[in-house]
Each structure stands twice: as C-alpha cells, then as structure tokens.
Amino acid sequence: MTSHRYPGAAWLAALLVVTLTGCQTMVQAPSPVSAMGSGTPAATTPASPARVTRPATATPATDAGGELKDLVSAEPVTSQVAQAPQTPEETSVPDLWDRIRRGMALPGIESSLVRTHEVWYASRPDYMGRMTVRAERYLFYIVEEVQRRKLPMELALLPFIESAFNPQAESRARAMGMWQFMPATGRHFDLAQNHFRDERRDVMASTRAALDYLEQLYAEFQDWHLALASYNWGEGNVRRAVRRNANAGKPTTYENLRMPRETRNYVPKLLAFANIVKDPKRFQVALPIIPNHPYFDAVTITRDIDVALVTELARISEEDFRALNPSLKHPVILAAGTPQVLLPWENAALFNTNLAEYQGALASWTVYVTPRNMNTARIARTVGMSDTELRQVNDIPKGRVVRKGSTLLVKRSAKVKRDVSERIAETGQLKLTPIDGTVVNRIRAKAGETVASMAKRLGVSAQSLAKWNRLSTSTRLAKDQRLTVYLPRNYGKRNRR
C-alpha cells in the first residue's frame, strides 16, 4: 500500500532468553520458549490465539461542563484466557516454515524482477534474520488465519514485503502497521483510529482487515497477481489499467499492465521471498526456525488498567507488551475500547492468577472532555497536572489550543470510581488549533533535506517539526514533500515554497 526502500544490511539482533522472576507474593512464570528455538515447554499445551469479543458496557454518562466524570459502569475484575488443544498442523509440523511451504499456491511470474529480488534478499542474511526475529511474534497467528480462510499461504508473507513485519511502521503517505493501511482504507475495514488506539497497528484487527481486503480484491479480479497489485496501488487504478489494455486488444495480466515502478516490483518481491522460503538451500539461506505453535494469547480486560500494572502482573517488559499491542497509544488500557490485550502465551495464565489476587487500584488515568477551546496550561490547572506532563502524555506540541469536545488523558483522582465509557473510548479524538498569531502551513521540502535541516531553514525546532508530521528528526525527505508547519502569522513568504 505504500512505497518501500530496501534498508542496508546491519548486525543480526542477538536473541536473549530471559528468565522471568517475580516478587514472593506473585506466581512465578514458567520458563519461556526461546524466540528462535523449536521446542515447547514440557507438559504444557500452548493455547491457540483467542478470538476478540467485546464485553457489554453500560450507557455512558455525559457532562457538558467537561468535569472529570464517571464514564462507564464498574464491572467485576475478571480475566480469562481461552485455551484450545493443538491442531493437527501444530503437532505434525514442528517448523512454521514447513507449514507455510505446504500451503503455497500462487502462480509464478516469468520475470527478471523475481530473480533480481531473490538475489537481493539472499545476499542480506542479516536483514532476513532481523525480519524473522520480528515476525516470530506474529506469524503463527497470521498463518492460522490464512489457512482458516483457505487462501494461498504466500499471503502470510506479505508483511515481510509491506513493513518488514514491523507493526510500528509508518510510510510517508501515513500508511501504518504490518499491513500498511492508509487512514481511509483502515476506516473502511473498521479499523478504529482515535486518540487512544490505532487498530491499523493492531495485530489481530489489521490481519483480519488485510485478509478481508485481499479476499474482496480477488473476488473482483479473479487473479491473485492483480489482487496484490490492487492492494498496493488501489483497485481503481488496476481496474483502469485492465480496461485500457482490454480496449487496446492487449493482454490484461499483471505482467502486461502499465503501472508505477513500485507496483511493478511489488508482486515479484513477494514471489522472490516466497521462493526463498520454499527452497532456502537453493539460495544458500538459513532461515531461523519459527516454532509452529502460538506465541501469544489474548486475555480479557474488563476494567481500565495501567499498562505498567499489566506488565508487572504478567512479568514482562513494557517493550514486549507494546510489541504485541502496538495499537495502544497511552499508559492505560481503556477496557470499553480495548476488551482484550495480547500477552506471551506462557505469561497469560500468570497474569490472570496475579490479577485475581491483586487488591490495589487498577488505573491511575482517566479522560477529560474539554467543554470549550482551552490552552493546555488551563486544562492542566483544572485536572491537577503540570502543563508539561499533560502535553507529553497526550502528545501535544507547544503552542496549541485544544478544541472543544476533545478527549485528553489525565490523572485519575480517588474520587473517580467508574471507568471510561465505550462512547469515549471508541470515538474520542484530540483536535488542536494553533494559538492566536500562529497559522498552519504546508511547506515543500527542498532536495536533499532532512526533517532537521528543514526545521533549521524554517526557524522551528527539529523535535517540533518531527512531532507535527509523525516523523523522526533524521528522516530524509523527498523533494517537494509537503510537511505541516506551525509558523507565526507574519512569517515571510520568501522562505516558503
């Protein structure tokens, strides 16, 4: 769905097996499976990933005055892990790569591009290794879903091409997640995008949406190459290219259509990677083993709860938690909007046990709805926070006014007993406007500029420019790429392009 550039080779990330330890009052975790190992813990049957089900919530209360308020009915604190026996595919095929090979069904393409990409991947074992380390968390679940739908197993490899299996990946065009959904396409396939989470990054939700989309495209074109081209380029563009060739009496297959360079290379990249998976010895590639069993399980969340508490009870790091739950933006999980989270499967039962025994407060955050346009300093005084902390937790740059009806994450006082409502958790948005004397500009980058060099040219901080555009300060910009910049109203036009 977005353009990709091959990164250079770098060191292969070392894989550490971490021994989970905990305080004496909590149950200890069993020894985890090595991320690159092939064995399973003794006398343990891993659980298959749970299906997401949304618990019922009460009708939310509203408060036009914007006061901190009770927003959802309190529910008993329970959390259950769905368990399932191993499938025949799990017990008979120990390596997930073998399972993928057995389900491959895409027709090949006679193209030099396929060979070119085979050589590129095969000559970069470090890059292949890093991608595999990331994919190990998610690939089993995707394979299960592809097999359940009876689709070609090559589709399970598509995130290698789209994002190198990075759920935090974001393109210049604002496509996000492993499957690289654009905002509008994500909304069309019911991927929530609000102030609290972006389901384009959600492992389960984005996989469901991507496979739905691919099935829809195949139903239209009856050709997997054209369906994949549409996934990258858009079905309207492919439809017009097919019609153009048909009207000219030319073949309408993928190889014969006129299309952008990125799309021309898109299917050959996938086929090249699939060919390496199919026969790694032929390409002298050693694929790290990925065990053919679930990496994670879904646990039910019925009350708002801090991420820090979840990681403490589950005995995992926040980094590992965020890798499995990349759609969550803040330090709290709002149960009405996120009724389940993913945990490494051996830590899921540990979390349930420790949560059942936990007696303290679950959440230290709640939501404030602005009753009118307000600056952050005023909001901070109202909710008892510092301006800096309020802006940091809500990712608000300096010099912004928060518009009426916006939802902000704020510290939860002891007076607030109820959780955030489903209405707020599902639809809450943060809308900002410049302070008086500041205007929003869309300014083109010059050739060779980075975010940092463009910021210097415009007289703004590199950190601010990066935050306004969700980029890093080191991002290299394309010539004429437009960035959002907040500048004084009287900023000289001579500096704009």
Residues taking part in catalysis: 162
**70 phi, psi to nearest 5 deg:** -75, 130
Burial of 281: CB neighbours in 10 Å, binned 0-12, 13-18, 19+: exposed
Contacts of residue 423, defined as CB under 8 A and 6 or more positions apart, other chains included, come to: 60
Phi and psi at residue 198, in whole multiples of 5°? -130, 105
| H or E stretch covering 482 | strand 482-488
**How many angstroms separate the CA atoms of 90 and 402, rounded?**
51
Interior CA angle at 160 toward 466 and 232, to 5°? 75
Return the HEC string of 212-245.
HHHHHHHHHHCCHHHHHHHHHHCHHHHHHHHHHH
CB distance 189 to 155 below 8 Å: no
Angle at 236 between CA 112 and CA 146, to 5 degrees: 65
Helix or strand (DSSP H, E) at 434: strand 432-434
Measured from the Cβ of residue 388, the count of other Cβ atoms closer than 10 Å reads 12
Q: What's the 3-state SS for 388-429? A: HHHHHHHCCCCCEEECCCCEEEEECCCCCCCECCHHHHHHCC
At how many degrees (to 10) do helices 224-233 and 203-221 cross? 120
Cα 342 from chain centroid? 13
As a whole number of angstroms, the distance between CA 153 and CA 347 comes to 29
458 with 465: CB under 8 angstroms?
yes
